[in-house]
Amino acid sequence: MILANNNAIAYDLAKKQKEISVAEFFERNKHILGFGNPTRALVTSVKEGVDNALDACEEAEILPEIYVEVKNSSEEECTVIIEDNGPGIIKQQIPHVFARLLYGSRFHAVRQSRGQQGIGISAVVLYGQLTTGKHAKITSKIEADRPAVVVELAMDTNKNRGEVLNQDVTHWDKPSGTRIEVNLIADYRRGKRFVYDYLQSTSIVNPHARIIYKEADGTEHIFERTADILPKKSVEVQPHPYGVELGTLIKMAKETNSRKLASFLKTEFSSMGDRTANAVCDEAKLDRNMNPADMTRDQFAALHAAFKKVKIMSPSTDCLSPIGETLIRRSLKSETQEISPEFIFTATRPASVYSGSPFQIEVGIVYGGNLPKDKQVKILRFANRIPLLYQQGDCAITTAIASIDWRRYGLEQPSGTGIPIGPAIFLTHIASTQIPYTSESKEAIADVEEIENEIKLAFRECARKVQMHINKKVRRVKTREKFDLITKILPEIAKKSAHMLNKPVPSLDRVITRIMDVVWIEDLVEYEKARGKQVQTKIDSKPSSEHEGGWITKSTIMVVNYKNKSQKFNLYAVIPKDAVVGTIKPKPAKITDTYIRWNLDSISPTNKVDIYFELAGLNKGDFDENDLYVENINPTYVIGADKWEGE
Amino acid sequence: MTERDYSKVISKIDGIAAKVYSDLEKAEIPSLQLSTRTKANIRFDDNLSVWKYGKNKTERAASSLDGAYMLLRTMYMVDFIKDMIKQKKSSTLRETYYISEGWNLAKFSSQNESDLLAEDLEVITGCMREDFKLRPEEDGARVIGNLVVEEVTRNNTKKKIHCQDDVGDAGYGIPYNVEKEKLTFKQADADFIIAIETGGMFDRLVENGFDTDSRAILVHLKGQPARSTRRFIKRLSEEKKLPVLIFTDCDPWSFRIYGSIAYGAIKTAHISEYLATPSAQYLGVTPSDIVNYKLPTDTLTTEDINALKSELTDPRFEDEFWKHEIKLQLSIGKKSEQQALAKYGLDYVTDTYLPEKLAELGASKKKPKKKT
């Protein structure tokens, strides 16, 4: 990423590196780096280590398996161990990665990633060294048939360089991986709960990771993996003109190979075609053919101003890697098992842009079960798959949630604003190439209008699904009673009265249609373990071999016409985007990514049509209720499906 | 005892099945109609001098789940009754409830439901519970007084019982069937019948010899009196021309006991003319008595207050006496028990209170003793 305004400290640091030692810098800024007190220090250390581990695994396309252990060696001192199964780090690089501030491969990249500053893990090493005088121990293995390297690392705080004190080789069972062990002054008693929360939250937004947490007393928590697919790899893209700072623009112009302004614009920026580049030059009153290296500061300023005036296409959103509705749902389900929630709904917004940076919002609502009814809903905030644990009150996510009138959706909210009260958990994930944090400690999202709006839209969409679900449930209970009535009780009444009078049992069809007077649609979802069956998946391009023995989701939809006239209409079943349709009966009129449509033949009164379809590529429980719609029939005649409003 | 002819009953209950069957045949939602059994639907019948159901009807239709269950249970119930008539058997209401265990979907969830259905069937058919071979669980209440009854016993012999000489302290037990074929009143030498709510007070009057001293026939009501008790009081009062006095606690529930004896109960208004004794008078304890006799009291509960207010809109209590007493009780906010009279000694009730009250109602030939 490019240094922006809110990173002024880092920017200053870069300039003054020679004048002040990193130790001094750290001491001055430790609160904003997350080491403000011994409790925070523990959580931050775990967080930096885990973020690093996840990034490393994903970059190497390895499903992460991360081991976290915290030991409290004395009253005030903790040992934090973080181990991953990533690619490892070559020996020469270890001092740079772990003991040098502002060093990292992602520093200049415009793409979505967890760490951005290159401060993270080195800060942990530095904090440990400053507080305990002890040195970090790094173990790294890069190939299965080679021994692991163990390095004891000190940090030269004057030079901002790592110093290898001791080095050895050892045997390590893993094919590859990295392990860091740091001693630091930390408040274990208070901090351990936060570590747990952080890891649990991390596991929710990283369904592809398996995380093991061993507490000081030996208690082990395992956060199981719920998806065997790595997140879509975010693509590195060039910066979008809207987000570029003047300083960066000048720097880019100095470093470019382009000799002409127009081609500089086209090659170094995204969303810049011939026409846009020319329009920008014209707007800035600059010659398209001038050499960017010769431009004056004023000319750069004019160019920078022109970016804002010319309509430039939104940046590409390839660089984003959202988690996806199905996976969010799956992890929420797995992490809330003990709560046994009534339902989980998720919504993903299309990617959007704020000052040149693409971002995308995903939300989830967990409702009911053992969640407390009289407390504020629990808000889980995530940015680029990192949980945000502190400063909830200052965060745009909280502001957005608080500005929605939740009373309409059945939650309590005393004045119609504020965090609602009720048995729910709200999850928000924002994915962006540049998360606008309020401060360097990266705990809260800044107040950006576009982001707040998208969060609101996402929650409204999700809340609508909740509302629909509840309405549907209420209606179903009512009509289920009638269903029992006509299928069980009425035939008995008929039998009994006929028996008493010694007469034949009368036909009930017409009475039934009179009592019901609806088209009844009911669905049942079952799961079957697919044995050795090759299942395609669309979540990722990875081969499907991993999915052998996955689950087949089988839906049976029963349509009964309890109206007294024949009915002919179209039925839509909405399917998740990441599912693949298998067997399907009867033959549908249309199948798309998101729905299946059947044009049903005329159904006579009291007649029934059975519809069956299979979905592959989903886990058990991903899809536990069909979302059904009807078309070409008065929707008030129908129980169990809503009016089809188009795609 | 001669064998009863049940053909009329059978044709009535077959009629219920036939109504449902023909609804189904005509493709109509099956339903049954019966008089609404609420206080809003009772009217005073001038000819019978009792309260009967008015014109409002309730429909039990299979369009709702509850209605359908109701109809199914009705079908099972009438079939069961028909069977019993054929087999010459009878069952208690409680047994009927347990029989329904085998009725699958038509199973009752409480005895209250089966009891109510039996009453519904009475209302629909105009028959009595006894016609359906159903009898109540409760034994009838107790009687002590100078009265000779003749009962047809289990072994079909007639037995005369003197309700003072032939009985112990517990008195004569009223059987569940008190119709003429079972029970007749031979001789009664008394001035009035006094019906008493609580067993404690009944025993007090017995111990104090009130039945002999005051020429009274004492009947223990056991709370809300059973049908047989009410029928017994009615027959005895009418056949032997004896006035009936009701002696209960002073609270809204006791007023209802009086109401059911004198006017007919809301639940059984279809057979009020069999059960009610319109000439019965309320003797006490009245709210005025609480004030006049300075009786020990309890505070009215919310339920008590609601029940009193409900009685104010009950057509049966729509007269000056009751309006005045109920309003008085609401204003003092207190209730009292009959046995609270013991405040003034064990003999006070028989020596002072009852004679004074009887004189007030003009029912006693005996002068009250001086107030102590």
Residue of A nearest to B27 (CA): A511
For residue A216, how many other CB atoms are within 10 A of its CB?
15
Q: Are A123 and A33 a contacting pair, CB within 8 Å?
A: yes
Q: With CB atoms and an 8 Å threshold, state whether B24 touches A514.
A: no
Structure tokens at A504: 């034949």
Nearest to A492 among B14, B18, B72 (CB): B72
B75 to chain A, any CB pair closer than 8 A? The answer is yes
Interface A-B: count of C-beta contacts within 8 A: 74
SS3 content of chain B, % helix, strand, coil (to 5): 45, 20, 35
A502 to chain B, any CB pair closer than 8 A? The answer is no
- Residues 6 or more apart whose CB falls under 8 angstroms from that of B56 comprise B35, B36, B38, B40, B41
Alpha carbon A237 to its chain centroid, in Å, reads 20
Cis before residue B285, ω within 30 degrees of 0?
yes
Nearest to B24 among A485, A494, A499 (CB): A494
What pLDDT score was predicted for residue A20?
59
Sign of CA dihedral B303, B308, B309, B311: positive
Radius of gyration of chain A (CA): 30
A494 to chain B, any CB pair closer than 8 A? The answer is yes
Q: What is the phi-psi region of residue A218: left when phi exceeds 0, alpha when psi lies from -120 to 50, beta otherwise?
A: left
In this prediction, residue A545 has a pLDDT band, given cuts at 50, 70 and 90, of very low
Set of chain A residues whose Cβ sits within 8 Å of the Cβ of B63:
515
Note down pLDDT in tens along chain B; length 372 residues. 446 788 888 898 899 999 999 999 988 889 888 888 888 888 888 888 888 888 888 888 888 888 889 899 999 999 999 999 988 888 988 899 999 998 888 888 888 888 889 988 988 888 888 888 888 876 668 999 999 999 988 888 999 999 999 998 889 999 888 888 889 999 899 999 999 999 999 999 999 999 999 999 999 998 889 888 999 999 999 999 999 999 999 999 999 999 999 988 888 888 888 889 999 999 989 999 999 999 999 999 999 999 999 999 888 898 899 999 999 999 999 999 999 999 999 999 999 999 999 988 876 555 544 444
Residue of B nearest to A506 (CA): B25
Nearest to A511 among B29, B72, B105 (CB): B29
Nearest to A488 among B14, B64, B105 (CB): B105
What pLDDT score was predicted for residue A571?
93
3 state DSSP class of A322? coil
Instruction: Answer yes or no: is the ipTM higher than 0.90.
Output: no
- Judged on CB neighbours under 10 Å (0-12, 13-18, 19+), A414 is exposed
Q: With CB atoms and an 8 Å threshold, state whether A496 touches B69.
A: no
- Residues 6 or more apart whose CB falls under 8 angstroms from that of A528 comprise A551, A552, A554
Mean pLDDT of A566-586: 88
Set of chain B residues whose Cβ sits within 8 Å of the Cβ of A489:
62, 65, 68-69, 71-72, 105
Set of chain A residues whose Cβ sits within 8 Å of the Cβ of B12:
none
Closest C-alpha among A139, A99, A102 to residue A122: A99
* Lateral strand order in the sheet of B172-173: B172-173, B142-144, B216-220, B192-196, B244-247, B281-284
A488 to chain B, any CB pair closer than 8 A? The answer is yes
pLDDT at A547 over 70: no
Q: Which of B98, B263, B344, B348 is catalytic?
A: B98
Set of chain A residues whose Cβ sits within 8 Å of the Cβ of B30:
493, 511
- To test the contact with chain B by mutation, choose from A500, A501, A510, A516 the residue with the greatest count of B C-beta atoms within 10 A, namely A500
Set of chain B residues whose Cβ sits within 8 Å of the Cβ of A484:
65
Set of chain B residues whose Cβ sits within 8 Å of the Cβ of A485:
62, 64-65, 68
For residue B156, how many other CB atoms are within 10 A of its CB?
7
Mean pLDDT of A403-411: 85
A497 to chain B, any CB pair closer than 8 A? The answer is yes
Rounded to 5°, the CA angle B347-B349-B353 comes to 130
A484 to chain B, any CB pair closer than 8 A? The answer is yes
Set of chain B residues whose Cβ sits within 8 Å of the Cβ of A510:
27
Q: With CB atoms and an 8 Å threshold, state whether B72 touches A481.
A: no
A492 to chain B, any CB pair closer than 8 A? The answer is yes
Three-state SS letters, A555-578: EEEEEEECCCCCECCEEEEECCCC
pLDDT, tens digit, 9 for 90 and up, residues A106-125: 444 555 666 544 567 888 88
- Judged on CB neighbours under 10 Å (0-12, 13-18, 19+), A337 is exposed
Q: Are A180 and A153 a contacting pair, CB within 8 Å?
A: no
B361 to chain A, any CB pair closer than 8 A? The answer is no
Q: With CB atoms and an 8 Å threshold, state whether B21 touches A498.
A: yes
> For the ranges A161-175, A371-385, A485-499, B334-348, which has the lowest average pLDDT?
A161-175
In this prediction, residue A239 has a pLDDT band, given cuts at 50, 70 and 90, of confident
Mean pLDDT of A501-525: 87
- Judged on CB neighbours under 10 Å (0-12, 13-18, 19+), A644 is buried
Q: With CB atoms and an 8 Å threshold, state whether B68 touches A511.
A: no
A496 to chain B, any CB pair closer than 8 A? The answer is yes
- Judged on CB neighbours under 10 Å (0-12, 13-18, 19+), A554 is middle
B17 to chain A, any CB pair closer than 8 A? The answer is yes
Q: Are A428 and A361 a contacting pair, CB within 8 Å?
A: yes
B84 to chain A, any CB pair closer than 8 A? The answer is no
What pLDDT score was predicted for residue A535?
44
Radius of gyration of chain B (CA): 23
Across A495-579, the runs of DSSP E, i.e. the strands, are 519-529, 551-561, 570-574
Interstrand relation of B172-173 and A136-141 (parallel, antiparallel or unpaired): unpaired
A514 to chain B, any CB pair closer than 8 A? The answer is yes
Residue of B nearest to A482 (CA): B65
> For the ranges A237-246, A455-464, A508-517, B118-127, which has the lowest average pLDDT?
A237-246
What pLDDT score was predicted for residue A30?
77
**B176 vs chain A: nearest CA distance in angstroms?**
30
Set of chain A residues whose Cβ sits within 8 Å of the Cβ of B65:
481-482, 484-485, 489
Whole-angstrom distance, CA of residue A568 vs CA of residue A588: 15
Helix axes B65-87 and A449-484, enclosed angle (nearest 10): 20
Whole-angstrom distance, CA of residue B186 vs CA of residue B179: 14
Q: Are A465 and A347 a contacting pair, CB within 8 Å?
A: yes
Q: With CB atoms and an 8 Å threshold, state whether B14 touches A492.
A: no
Q: Are A123 and A35 a contacting pair, CB within 8 Å?
A: yes
Q: With CB atoms and an 8 Å threshold, state whether A501 touches B17.
A: yes
Residue A428, strand partner residues: A363, A381
Structure tokens at A562: 């309890």
Nearest to B17 among A481, A489, A500 (CB): A500
A585 to chain B, any CB pair closer than 8 A? The answer is no
Establish whether B353 is a catalytic residue.
Answer: no
The more confidently predicted of residues A35 and A609 is A609
CA distances from B70 to A549, B31, B120, B123, B270 (A): 51, 10, 10, 15, 20
Give the long-range contacts of residues B206-209, CB within 8 A, separation 24 or more: B206/B144, B206/B169, B206/B171, B208/B346, B208/B347, B208/B349, B208/B350, B209/B350
For residue A501, how many other CB atoms are within 10 A of its CB?
14
CA distances from A451 to A351, A386, A457, B196, B227 (A): 11, 17, 10, 80, 76
